[in-house]
Structure 1
């Protein structure tokens, strides 16, 4: 009958609320509230009606509430970035005042999580000859604490022209970034879309430097985490082949065997990979222009290796002549101007 009477009273009772602030990770068995502190008499009896969590224990003998299990705000309220809506509640019936008392325990975040990148190393790439000012979106670190204890700033550190350069950006105090405009690389943060960018503030030249190494550091005022960032400069075909000499001299005679490699020509291209693949061609003999794939009776040039070979025996008359061969080298670019040398 008493239980039925309590429930009937609950249905018609007013509800009082009280908010109590507690830190996450507070030690187990810690008393976080004493109901006697709000009662004019220690004889008041409270009946626990409901509790939102088993982490809290009500002692009906002492009217105290203590912690029985670990309270981790980041697990309890993972979406509460602003730390404003993470509560544990307990509802009591006040047997003296015949009303409802609702205790709301607001869980206060502490800085107990370190920012983390998803990888210890990142690699990004950009083609050389770029226009300065290009943005490259970077992977951000994650910190599951709420914003006030979460990531506060990023810092980029690198070496350029034998100088250590840093670019630091505060996510919550967006200072004027014009001080970075004279730096070859700097960070930029989009506070609307919450994106972090690397700004390439120079024209890259792969032949001068084919990669740049950065250290990207994140800090939440208590913990610091770093990751390695590598910018790989991709090649474009912006260099023509070059011969080391403009004229080569080879001595042959009528006794030189057929098939003899007279000389191996080598041209150099500062580009890389396919852009540095060189093709050789015999353009003219003694001023006579050879058409593409046109054969001649004396010489053969391997278009891939640059090897010039004798393919027939010189007669006595030929052996007294000076042969002037114009050799070209190109890297396969359409309508490319070949490098020239004379043999």
Structure 2
């Protein structure tokens, strides 16, 4: 930003009247020797005084900010103000070399990994280095990796057999691009020389070496020893050691002896600047076969900083009748060795509820870089103890999602396919920057679906739902049995009535007139076997239209 440009309205933000700024002779108190902003009392505005270079001010630290205080007199007051510097994409990724030279044996097996130099981009966030590409890809394919700090580096993987007799040399171009708008990029040539056969590559004794060193250790201090072996005999079994993908800061601090593998300190450490370094190791035989490992060095804090007392303001003369509590001076004390990290990060979103499940829906047509959701967390500590980083701890498919180290954004890293399961579960770890660091975890449910019913069918298999469904099934069956019983009963009654009426019609015939019975004075059993004393005859009288049988 150019000098004179508006930064912020401190009068409005602090709830102060512009007249108070003038009458109180408001001024800025800045610890840094360089003053980047100045105060316009008449408007209550902070404006740019000198050009601000975020990379020069903060390096790779994000967020980048500096603090100042606004001091008022009559009465004496002060207000703390923090100004955050936002990054712009003013740097392109740059490789330290113009050409990478590799010597690879023609007997190297498919799948062998070759480490490539890392590009540097001082910008942060999306403006920093985002990805690599390699062309052509006839014999080699590119593999991208990320370190724990979020920085990315590239590896070249052999995907087809080399034949020295057909082609003894290969030329490729490695390109690094950032995520800014407009996008910036840098390139380096990769020259591969194919060597005759060598059977075995060096193998490190450990996949990860860990060491610690006090921040006040002298130059030349031995930090650790690393070892790799090669099963080949004689000259082919010789191993040399080196660092790869090492940044400029670490390159001035550490050295590895190529023959012995001893790692020593060559610079001055400062725990308050960096408290951990991760270095990539390479063991190489005379024919170009390599093995890879890494070394993690923890810097141990020592009490090497004295408290700094700053007299912000002194009111001068004190009247003899001044009441107790009158402000005489403003003093600030700071000690870089005492930052206590006693609070773990708290996840605000997504909310973790006991019974219900919240799922982020991602359409199957989603492209690479699709924003799934964002994990939001806070840490009530201050300073570097409140700086948060986000990492993907577990995932149903690690090749499908990634988490932004500093912003917590979950994005897709490849195209979603029909083969991907609908239900995806991610576990994200949020860590602060304290020592020791504290962390919190959050589970994120993701549904790869184009319709809501697909989501429901995948996210309803929970215990309380199962119990509810079991009870519901029982009552539905009971109701079905009751209805079926009533139906059968009614059906039997109806059939019985029908049969009764049919038999009646068969007995008396069909008539539109009512049947008029005639009861004679005596009845008798026609067979003479009843209880009557004599045998009698009886007659049946019918109506005129009765049917004769």
**TM-score, structure 1 length as denominator?**
0.50
Name whichever structure is richer in helix by fraction: 2
Name whichever structure is richer in strand by fraction: 1
Max Rg structure: 2
